[in-house]
Amino acid sequence: MSDFLSSGWSIAIAIVTVLSLIACLALLIIAARRRVVPGVTDNSTGHVWDEDLRELNNPLPRWWMGLFVLTVVFSFAYLVLYPGLGAFAGTWQWTSSGQYEAEQARARNEIAPLYARFAAMDETQLAGDAQAMGIGERLYINHCAACHGSDARGSKGFPNLTDKDWLWGGTFTDIRKTIAEGRNGVMPPMAEAVGGGDNVRNVAHYVLSLSGSPHDSVAAQLGRSSFTACAACHGIDGKGNTAMGAPNLTDKVWLHGWGEETVAAMINGGKNNAMPAHASRLTEEQVRVLAAYVWRLSN
């Protein structure tokens, strides 16, 4: 890869590009000349099909030639102004990333006075401001709805943002940090830790019993002692730990599904859930408004 990205390849690409354009001009010159075919006096190429269909030896139309020449001239001008000749950046120094950054900077400058007004508000005031919530809603649709749904009620594997069940905490500060920095919730495979074999099934039923979900009471009692291996994250009472993103097992909110088979599979295989960080996509002011909008959904 280092050889491919060396300056030698850049020069070679530039040379091939220029030679290709020169070859186009040469093709035009050759095609513009009338060819003389020995022994032919009827202005044809000597090719005949179907007994009387002759190919005439006429030059290309001038309008077609003119368009072709303009295309080649435009190509040379483009390569001088814009990047295209290997590593040559062009005399205008244009890049798509530079244009994107300039447009983003211009947009931020235009909306800066608006966000300056929001900066003096706390989450309650932001949640009650129609303009702030209108912006927050658009930010949510653009950046969050793909996973959490347009109604913010989530789906399997994606949390519902309209209830009071928060894996990493539901305060304005918690939500703001989640949006900006992202989250990575990891549950390791716990089959060996709980004793393996039937103990996995028993613990699954004990977990189901914590929320009053349908379960086998005998198996649940047998799995109670083995659940201590899970208490480090979920707590001895199973109410979870927002500092670690460990879910509350005593409510009936099941992010990845419920039932013996599903819970046992979770114990056996573990789970890794990630939410990407948005600090690089949104400004700090946008994160704050979006956090207030999400906070409002459950408050």
Banded pLDDT at 40 (limits 50, 70, 90): low
Q: Is 89 helix (H, G, I), strand (E, B) or coil?
A: coil
pLDDT, residue 34, reads: 63
pLDDT, residue 2, reads: 43
Pairwise CA distance, residues 27 & 20, whole Å = 10
Cα dihedral value 39, 40, 41, 42, nearest 10: 160
| Fold for the domain defined by 186-275 | Cytochrome Bc1 Complex; Chain D, domain 2 (1.10.760)
DSSP 8-state symbol, 241: B
252 Cβ neighbours under 8 A, 6+ residues apart: 211, 212, 213, 258
Higher pLDDT, 2 or 247: 247
Q: Is 163 helix (H, G, I), strand (E, B) or coil?
A: coil
Higher pLDDT, 169 or 87: 169
Q: How far is the CA of 24 from the CAs of 15, 71, 80, 287, in angstroms?
A: 14, 10, 18, 53
182 close to 276: Cβ distance less than 8 angstroms: yes
Which of these ranges, 19-28, 122-131, 171-180, has the smallest mean pLDDT? 19-28
Pairwise CA distance, residues 285 & 188, whole Å = 36
Higher pLDDT, 55 or 156: 156
Q: Is 118 helix (H, G, I), strand (E, B) or coil?
A: helix
pLDDT, residue 88, reads: 85
Whether the per-residue pLDDT at 93 is higher than 50: the answer is yes
pLDDT, residue 186, reads: 93
Which of these ranges, 33-37, 144-148, 225-229, 270-274, has the smallest mean pLDDT? 33-37
Write out the H or E segment, with its range, that includes residue 49. Answer: strand 44-49
Average predicted confidence (pLDDT) for the chain: 90
Q: Do domains 102-182+277-297 and 186-275 have the same CATH topology?
A: yes
The residue ranges of every structural domain in the chain are 7-33+43-81, 102-182+277-297, 186-275
pLDDT, residue 5, reads: 59
Q: How far is the CA of 208 from the CAs of 10, 155, 170, 259, 295, in angstroms?
A: 63, 20, 24, 7, 29
Instruction: Give the pLDDT confidence of 197-225 residue by residue, as tens digits.
Output: 999 999 999 999 999 999 999 999 999 99
Higher pLDDT, 48 or 145: 145
Banded pLDDT at 35 (limits 50, 70, 90): low
**54 strand-pairing partners:** 48
pTM reported for the whole predicted model: 0.71
Residue type, position 138, single letter: R
pLDDT, residue 56, reads: 78
Candidate CATH numbers 1.10.10.10, 3.40.50.1000, 3.40.50.12280, 1.10.760.10; the one for domain 102-182+277-297: 1.10.760.10
195 token code pair: 């004793």
Whether the per-residue pLDDT at 4 is higher than 60: the answer is no
Pairwise CA distance, residues 95 & 8, whole Å = 22
Pairwise CA distance, residues 195 & 151, whole Å = 42
